[in-house]
Structures are given as structure tokens and as C-alpha cells.
Amino acid sequence: MKPYKPSGKAPASGIMRLGLSTVIGNIVAGGLIHLLGRLIYVILVFPLLMGATAGGLAFAASYGGKIRNPLLTVAAGLLGGLCIYGTTHGADYVVFRSESGARVDELLEERVGESGFVGYLKYSAQQGVSIGKIGRDGINLGETGTWVYWLIELAIIEMVAGAIAYGAASQVFCEKCSEWYDSATPIGGVSPEKGNVFLEALKAQNFSQAAQSIGPVLSNTNSSLKISHCLCPACREEGEILLSVAEDRTDKNGNNLWSKTVKEELLTPREYQQFMAAIPTQSADSEQV
Ligand SMILES: [Zn+2]
């Protein structure tokens, strides 16, 4: 049993694809978000949307381009976040230029001592961003407040984009077949009482003992474990198998809030066989109930 380490490899075609999708994809998406924002701009929601777009584009291009280099994927996500946010401000600037007539640069120079895009940003900050409820006069954040607000927006975008891209980078790839592993298939669950025994046995690499704690997947039980596996679509049981253990978190009413991955390791085919063979059959379990 060992943790998965990406090989760091990235085919040239994949890098091309990642680069193009990062720049072009985010500029196009930024333009669309700008248009949408002219109708209605919802604070927090728009930065989240932009971050998800930049991260999603990095994810898709890395997956399609078979990029196994987390650094590249995360960098593309972060760069994409800058691109998409820059585009929305850039589009505002284009609209501002077209609405302000021929003397726009002179005007900016007069007001903020700088022309062009930078002058426009300074001027917009000076005017201040207003936030508030729809249909009412908002609160003007003032010049400093506006810069801070823009920085917070950018930070949200970068965090979301980075997190999504990082998720893509931790996908498992079979170097032998040059294929991504299939998505996770559930094997079973471990009740909260047996959780520690299970994890200890797994840590000790005692796969048949660990497997004995596995029963049916429990839904809506706080701190129950969900066990699943991922296989290479070509190697199947002949190759290394990714075993993942996720811990469920539920609220007071038993609704599933989220699952946290507590362990993710590659098993050799032999280890996997030992593990799977020792899982109690479902029928024996239902007799106990
Ligand atoms: Zn394979």
C-alpha cells in the first residue's frame, strides 16, 4: 500500500490545450459574465462563478490533455482566474471608453493623472463601488474600500479556481495504459464504532482484518466511513487499485453535509485480492440485523 504520486508528465499537446483553454476560455467566459453583470451583479456569487469557471476549464483541459503535473494544472487555474477577472474589468473599460467620447484619455489624465486601463481602474475606484439591495441606493465603499473589495473578489476567484484545479491534479493516472482511472465505485461502509479498528488495521497493512469491519454503505450516519475503489479501465484488477476512505459528516437531522477523504492509497493486485476476499458477504450481514 502506498500513496499515489502523479508522474509529473505533461504531453506537449496537453500543454497547448491547457494554455489555449486558460486564455481563450476565460476571456470568452469573462465577456459573458460581464454581459450578465450589466443586468444584475450579485456580490460573492459572481466571484464564485468566475472561480468555478477558471477552475473548471483547467480541470477539463488537464483531464482531456492527460496532464499529470499538479503544478501546471493549478497554475492554469490561478492564471485563468486572473484572466477571467481581468476580462470583466477590461470589458467595463471598453464600455466606458465607448460611452465617454473622444476625450476619454484627457479626462482620465485630468482626474487621476493616468490614462488607459490603469487610469480607468483608478477612476472607478475613486467613484467607488456601491453595494446594496436591488432597486435601492447602495452604500458606496469609497476609494480604499473599492480596492479592498476588488482584492477580496480576486482572492475568492483564485481560491475557488485553485481548489478545483488541485482536485483535477489529484486524479489517478495509469502510466502503463496512458488512461485516467475510472470514477470511484463504492465497496461498502464502516459503522462509526468500527471506524478506528478499520483504519488501524489498514495502517498496519492487515487487509483481511480491515475488510472484516466492512458492511453495507450507511447513509446519513455521522462519522461513518464510505469505502470505494478506482481501477484503471484497461488493467482492472491486474493493475494497482486506488482505495479511498471517506468520512461522512451529517447535521443534527442526519442529512449528509459532506464527506472528507481520510485515506487514499494504491493497493497492489495481491493486497486488493486479500482485502476484497475478506469482506463479509451482504447476506450474512442482513441475518445479523
Ligand atoms: Zn492501466
Distances, alpha carbon 244 to alpha carbons 44, 227, 265, 266, in Å: 33, 6, 7, 9
Distance 238 CA to ligand 1 centre (A): 8
pLDDT of residue 287: 47
Distance 127 CA to ligand 1 centre (A): 58
Helix (H, G, I), strand (E, B) or coil at 145: helix
Distance 237 CA to ligand 1 centre (A): 10
Distance 66 CA to ligand 1 centre (A): 14
**Element at 243 (helix H, strand E):** strand 241-250
- pTM of the prediction? 0.84
Distance 181 CA to ligand 1 centre (A): 8
Name residues with Cβ closer than 5 Å to ligand 1, which is an ion.
174, 176-177, 232, 234-235, 239
Count the neighbouring beta carbons within 10 Å of the beta carbon of residue 100: 13
Distance 36 CA to ligand 1 centre (A): 44
Distance 179 CA to ligand 1 centre (A): 7
Distances, alpha carbon 39 to alpha carbons 35, 36, 64, in Å: 7, 5, 34
Distance 186 CA to ligand 1 centre (A): 20
Distance 161 CA to ligand 1 centre (A): 29
Beta bridge partners of 19: none
- H-state helical runs in 101-187: 104-112, 116-127, 142-169
Distance 241 CA to ligand 1 centre (A): 10
Taking the C-alpha atoms of residue 23 and residue 134, their distance in angstroms, rounded to an integer, is: 33
Distance 9 CA to ligand 1 centre (A): 16
Q: Kindly give the confidence (pLDDT) of every residue in the chain, 289 residues in length, as a single tens digit, with 9 standing for 90 and above.
A: 899 999 999 999 999 999 999 999 999 999 999 999 888 878 789 999 999 999 999 999 999 999 999 999 999 999 999 999 999 999 999 999 999 888 889 989 999 999 999 999 999 999 998 887 665 667 889 999 999 999 999 999 999 999 999 988 778 999 999 999 999 999 999 999 999 999 999 999 999 999 999 999 888 788 899 999 999 999 999 999 999 999 988 888 878 788 889 999 999 999 999 999 999 986 545 544 4
Distance 183 CA to ligand 1 centre (A): 14
pLDDT of residue 66: 95
Distance 180 CA to ligand 1 centre (A): 8
Residue with cell 502503463: 176
Distance 98 CA to ligand 1 centre (A): 56
Distance 271 CA to ligand 1 centre (A): 17
Taking the C-alpha atoms of residue 35 and residue 29, their distance in angstroms, rounded to an integer, is: 10
φ/ψ bin of 153: left (φ > 0), alpha (ψ from -120 to 50), beta (otherwise):
alpha
Distance 233 CA to ligand 1 centre (A): 7
Domain assignments of the chain as residue spans, ordered by start: 12-171, 179-288
CA torsion through residues 239, 6, 170, 194, sign: positive
Please give the single-letter amino acid code of residue 13: S
Q: To 5 degrees, how large is the angle CA 166–CA 249–CA 44?
A: 55
